[in-house]
Structure 1
């Protein structure tokens, strides 16, 4: 073989080897634990389906998510679950506990994103609110003082079985304004919860529970995620005093490198405004693209957590406070639950 022919043949063989190596190195299926319900469905429609159509990579979803479940996964040494949904405060806790890994933003190569969504340890994929809601026809509370007043507003409640979703509302019920919530007066919050606990029929863990409980008339009032109730004529709701937050998808510590390569591709799909608009069509939450609003139905902007009118009456989660105090508060929460 002539030298020129040999060089051409050798050069031609190199890309093939690289492609084969890349194919072997990238998983075609990974697992994710997310919060469930319509939120999970929005991930499927907005991001997983486009990813699969473009790359053939599938993402298998499970729910619900919690810090305890993440810790159990990591401590068991498993490597089968790659992605895990966490609230903003829990992301910092998980980072401090060594439960999640840094993201490779260069490999993700995202479209434009709001800065707070581009976290070193998580992709901020969904802005959401936790608010008060009630079964249609019930007396309508205007604030959390009234929501916690079970004599003036009789009926059973369902509250989140998560301290970071529950304690700030109890403090509002005790008269603390939303701009003075942090640092949390934890003892005052638990005192207020002790006053209402006999009227709490269910402490929910999955976001799909509160609307179903209200529809079944097992409870009449709920603290729940806004996207579960907005736009449903079966419910009344109020964003006043609600908690605005950003949910992140993190990478579980110890995930396999080939699974992470697939995860970077999913993250890229999650950064695209056209995909975020698809997700917002499933549930009234918004993604992190600064170009998203123009793609949303203008007559329904009031339903989204980041609309001007809703942002003005909510507080934003204090992730740093929870990162510093979450472990101690979780222990108090477990002790409180034992008293029920």
Structure 2
């Protein structure tokens, strides 16, 4: 079976699961969001991007007549520079929840026009709300992933286990905080590995976090920068344990690749959509956001990849077994550490945000 036919099968299954509830995800769009031209939208890589294409991009284009041009990842600095130059890299950008305040402060975002939205959809975003500048797009988790061939009897279940290279031998990989200081969740993970109670993670004790990282550093083979790296490192047996985003690992498990994960102490994260200042296709961008805010396409997306929907009504279109495996389901807020974006966006006495401080400290540490 080819990648294309596999994707088509996944789309059919996702659509069928939601359609069984008697839902037409395109009806509102056909009546209220039709238009012409295009909209340039951030498109992720791998299975995530496939799910976006099938359930958001293609469905929106079919319902409205507006072409979606998927634009791959561009780093934060380049996005800001593109807006300042008057040539925004996207109309609709994928926005890390920890960055949105600084974008607003620098006047780099358009206010979202919620008049395009179906009544009630904005209010159904819970517990992370849709704000004047950001519509949450998904929940995901930074989890402990491991090569199941390396641990046939007892596998690592906590970040402390990942740090314990004597009991769980092999090389390690963690995300490069220099590439994504907040999204990497490196500092939260290091403190959890050092035994800090999840309720006491914030404010981050950077001295303690780096002392914890010092203990793991001799065993770190790779500081990964792309979500595709951890599963590849595990598959190739280059590392035995790594941090990873849950969707990448569960996608491999579904193909019977010998990898596994632990949800214990997972760091629950979320991302959103924002419209960049000066977007060339601003009206189409608002229409796109109105479409993806609906629970029906969000449910279809979460059928294709194990990332959770931020519109809580989407869970009503998913079966209980699927819901239980999704980050952002009601129980996940009780069992996982919810990353505190307000901490990372807060400024210290020196005027620097905590994320900026952490980035400076990381760059000094990683080159030692």
Task: State if a TM-score over 0.5 links the two structures.
Answer: yes
Measure the CA separation in 2 of the matches of 1:93 and 1:331: 17
Write the distance in 2 (CA, Å) between the matches of 1:186 and 1:70.
28
* Aligned equivalent of 1:9: none
Higher RCO (C-alpha under 8 Å, 6+ residues apart): 1
May I ask how many residue pairs the two structures share in their alignment?
A: 314
Contact 1:274 / 1:295 at 8 angstroms: preserved in 2? yes
Partner Cα separation in structure 2 for residue 201 and residue 152 of structure 1: 18
SS of aligned partner of 2:56:
helix
| 1:172 aligned onto 2:172 | no
Report the RMSD for the aligned CA atoms in angstroms: 2.3
Distance in 2 between residues matched to 1:119 and 1:70, nearest whole Å:
20
Question: 1:146 is matched with which residue?
Answer: 161
Where structure 1 has 5 or more consecutive residues not aligned to the other structure, the ranges are: 1-21
Match of 2:221 in 1: 201
Q: Report the Cα distance in structure 2 between the residues aligned to 1:236 and 1:312, rounded to whole angstroms.
A: 22
Match of 2:48 in 1: 39
Which residue of 253, 261, 268 maps to 1:237?
261
Q: Structure 1 residue 111: deviation in Å?
A: 4.8
TM-score by length of 1: 0.84
Q: In structure 2, what is the Cα distance between the partners aligned to 1:227 and 1:264?
A: 27
Aligned counterpart in structure 1 of residue 234 of structure 2, from 211, 214, 222: 214
Question: More deviation in 30-39 or 265-274?
Answer: 30-39
Name the SS of the counterpart of 1:236 in structure 2.
strand
Residues 35 and 206 of structure 1 are in contact (CA less than 8 Å); yes or no, is this contact kept in structure 2?
no
Residue 34 of structure 1: CA displacement?
4.2
Once the 2 structures are TM-superposed, how far is the Cα of residue 141 of structure 1 from its aligned partner? 1.5
Structure 2, unaligned runs of 5 or more: 1-32, 347-353
Deviates more, 1:223-232 or 1:56-65: 56-65
Residue 282 of structure 2 corresponds to residue 249 of structure 1: no
- State the alpha-carbon separation in 1 of the partners of residues 218 and 227 from structure 2: 22
Higher Rg of the two aligned structures: 1
Match of 1:7?
none
Instruction: Give deviations 1:196-219, integer Å, cap 9, x for gaps.
Output: 223222222221221122112222
8 A Cα contact 1:51 1:266, kept in partner: yes
Query: Could you report, residue by residue, the CA deviation over 1:59-101 in whole angstroms, capped at 9, with x for unpaired residues?
Result: 2223335433322333443234212112221222333343323
Partner Cα distance (2:207, 2:277) in 1: 34
2:345 aligned partner: 323
Q: Return the alpha-carbon distance in structure 1 between the equivalents of residues 224 and 198 of structure 2.
A: 24
- Which protein is richer in helix relative to its size? 1
